């Protein structure tokens, strides 16, 4: 697998979303938080919609990927951000991570601690990916063909605005 990724989140501010997007885009956490639109408020303003708005504000695009895409190796390592959920309290215990790679025996994820990627079996990964709310969220960030800028509805933009006041 790949060496440790410079993706380190601050547990006190729960900024794993901007930190993972910053690592996957190569822009860094500070640039992503500056593009968040409003005030970053930890888990309250760290939904998939907030990610899409930040990606759009950064002038990037995203390609939505599924669990099947990830397990089949069709998601790009080090550029794919995934929302996972804890086993014991999936709705209250969520964390944004960066895909390191997929092997025949499992999935490797950068957890945001600056350490080596963590290994999960395919079945463990499927449980982490599908548990909790919001469920099943993963995207590859990039530019150019195949990476359209996210389009958000007025309601989605309103939600992002209200939660970052």
The pLDDT tens digits of the residues spanning 20-49 come to 999 999 999 889 988 887 666 666 667 888
**0.85 surpassed by pTM:** yes
* Distance of alpha carbon 43 from alpha carbon 29, whole angstroms: 15
Query: How many CB atoms sit inside 10 A of residue 96's CB?
Result: 27
Q: What is the mean pLDDT of the chain?
A: 84
Predicted confidence (pLDDT) per residue in 66-75, tens digit = 999 999 999 9
**Digit-coded pLDDT (tens) for 78-128:** 999 999 987 666 556 788 999 999 999 999 999 988 888 999 999 999 998
Residues 41-52: tens digit of each pLDDT: 666 667 888 888
Euclidean distance between CA atoms 35 and 55, whole angstroms: 8
Cα 138 from Cα 105, distance rounded (Å): 20
Tell me which fold the domain 16-163 belongs to.
Cathepsin B; Chain A (3.90.70)
- Domain borders along the chain are 16-163
Q: Closest by alpha carbon to 138, among 12, 13, 24, 4? A: 24
């Amino acid at each position: 697998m790949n060496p440790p990724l410079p993706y380190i989140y601050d547990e006190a501010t729960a900024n794993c979303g901007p930190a993972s997007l910053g690592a996957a885009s190569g822009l860094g956490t500070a640039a992503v938080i500056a593009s968040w639109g409003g005030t970053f408020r930890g888990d309250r303003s760290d939904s998939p919609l907030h990610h899409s708005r930040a990606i759009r504000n950064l002038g990037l695009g995203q390609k939505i990927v599924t669990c099947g895409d990830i397990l089949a190796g069709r998601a790009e390592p080090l550029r794919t951000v995934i929302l996972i959920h804890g086993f014991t309290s999936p709705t209250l215990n969520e964390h944004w991570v960066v895909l390191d790679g997929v092997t025949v025996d499992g999935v490797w994820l950068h957890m945001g601690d600056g350490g080596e990627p963590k290994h999960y079996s395919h079945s463990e990964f499927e449980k982490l990916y599908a548990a909790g709310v919001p469920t099943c969220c993963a995207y590859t960030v990039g530019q150019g063909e195949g990476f359209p800028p996210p389009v958000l509805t007025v309601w989605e933009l309103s939600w992002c605005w209200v939660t970052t006041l």
